[in-house]
Structure 1
């Protein structure tokens, strides 16, 4: 009986940790670099940001700008998010760009909330803007992670030719890394340019993939410390497995001295026995690269959640 009780308590603890871990993901901020879009779309940035914040998806501003470019291109349409159909109207029925943004971003926000509830990944959210919310259910029933194969089978199940199965790829081609995360970050890194590039080159292969609690390699997916352990390990730097252990293994640096390639640590992001509960890779420009939120990618440290939980920075030992 005693063994049964211990087992039940252990299972309950794992569930609690997983739930709080996922809550931490939902509190996350922008996982994206700057949208690479022309001036004709850049002019909508202030309004997109304003409307996105109104509907609590301000962290998706860059992706929303990429969606605007994908939907409007060089067509000259005033329905710049092609949001008429989300209101049950014929295409291009909306003739005011501000109305198009309000309708489209409100719809996008509803998809984000539903995907959060179903624990689906970033690709599902973006693809669902094209396919509709039914795609979230489809992905949720097939592992929670959108793939090109799932998008194609969903399209085929609707008679073929339904939507754009490559919509996620088409949108994300307009979202790129900023200079701080590239050459500039490499030149500033305490690890040296070549080593930093190797680390971020490996990390970049997983951008957009889903956060996986307990994941530590490409076949399982990654949680926060699993990602850092793996990508630094591929560059020949051995890190222990947990965020707390990685914190203990690094040399602490002041915020004024932090450089790209250092680790950034957080406390209290979910309930567990450790002081340090989350870790990311500092990339410069007060941003980090991490596994959390709606997947793996870039995140601003200016977000109030991260500011409230910041514990400090650590430099790995080469």
Structure 2
């Protein structure tokens, strides 16, 4: 039986604040002997935890024994965050993690849940699945008497910033669309704002698309129905990065064209929705249920 594909990714959609922290991460990794191949993963975790916009960039305060979050500075937070993830990987086994991305996902989910998740996953050969992550969350919430425990969607949230280094997709977007996408990547991680049309307001789905085009002299309305009307249909088999992917009935009437994002590849889109500005998976059942079509702006 051949080993599973080894983990090799590049991070994209990172904020300037997170990118600026890369030297600090590399220094912390060197101190604990963590291989540099995990740098993009750590930056993706940092993006999910804080976007680099607070002092406790890795949200590490509580793992250091503080009763409240955001009690430490950036360097301390990074050192502790690196240590926690590296300890999780070693607890599963470095070689085993290297052989299986699903085991690495268990180590990353344990960054959010705590080390108990690694023990919970041992009977499953430490191979992550979302259903097991949800099961652990429900179990811990019941034990603690809380309404919820951790983030069962944590892997999806971190992996939206990661692309296979040798694959197609967002990490390899080129040409004119790369310039348009680069215009909005600095806002990655910001929350969705209904009616938001610019950086000072925040962005909704149609607003971020319209604003991105405007930065390159392209006039495109900021209303989904009009955006649909002013673009032409494209077959899925012909879709390319930079096309527009539309959805209907996410609010309002079932047939109302209510959501738009930039199409990236066969699984990925980029835009602003209820989970914030960032990369999203348009093959998720929710989006497939509301899929309306892929279209192209003909300039």
Category of TM-score, reference length = shorter chain: 0.5 to 0.7
| Counterparts of 1:242 and 1:85, CA distance in 2 | 37
Helix, strand or coil: the match of 1:266? strand
Q: Deviations over 1:7-39 (max 9, x none)?
A: xxxxxxxxxxxxxxxxxxxxxxxxx979xxx89
The number of residues matched between the two structures is 202
Question: In structure 1, what is the equivalent of residue 228 of structure 2?
Answer: 247
| Counterparts of 1:224 and 1:207, CA distance in 2 | 13
Within the candidate set 84, 89, 94, 1:71 is matched to 84
Within the candidate set 146, 149, 158, 1:110 is matched to 149
When residues 219 and 250 of structure 1 are mapped into structure 2, their CA distance, relative to the original with a 3 A threshold, is same
**Deviation (angstroms), 1:257:** 1.0
Conserved in 2, the CA contact under 8 Å of 1:210 and 1:295? yes
Helix, strand or coil: the match of 1:269? coil
Question: Please, what TM-score do these two structures have when normalized by structure 2?
Answer: 0.53
* 1:185 lines up with 2:173 in the alignment: yes
Within the candidate set 121, 136, 142, 1:98 is matched to 121
Helix, strand or coil: the match of 1:288? strand
Question: In structure 2, what is the equivalent of residue 207 of structure 1?
Answer: 188
Question: In structure 2, what is the equivalent of residue 266 of structure 1?
Answer: 247
**Deviation (angstroms), 1:262:** 0.5
CA RMSD between the two structures: 4.8
| Counterparts of 2:113 and 2:171, CA distance in 1 | 41
**Deviation (angstroms), 1:247:** 0.4
Helix, strand or coil: the match of 1:270? coil
Question: Please, what TM-score do these two structures have when normalized by structure 1?
Answer: 0.50
| Counterparts of 1:70 and 1:214, CA distance in 2 | 41
**Deviation (angstroms), 1:83:** 6.7
Gaps of 5+ in 2: 1-10, 14-33, 39-44, 50-57, 60-80, 93-106, 142-147
Within the candidate set 260, 273, 277, 1:296 is matched to 277
**Deviation (angstroms), 1:197:** 1.1
**Deviation (angstroms), 1:238:** 1.2
Helix, strand or coil: the match of 1:209? coil
Q: Deviations over 1:185-216 (max 9, x none)?
A: 32xxxxxx1x2111110121111110001101
Gaps of 5+ in 1: 1-31, 43-59, 114-121, 127-170, 187-192
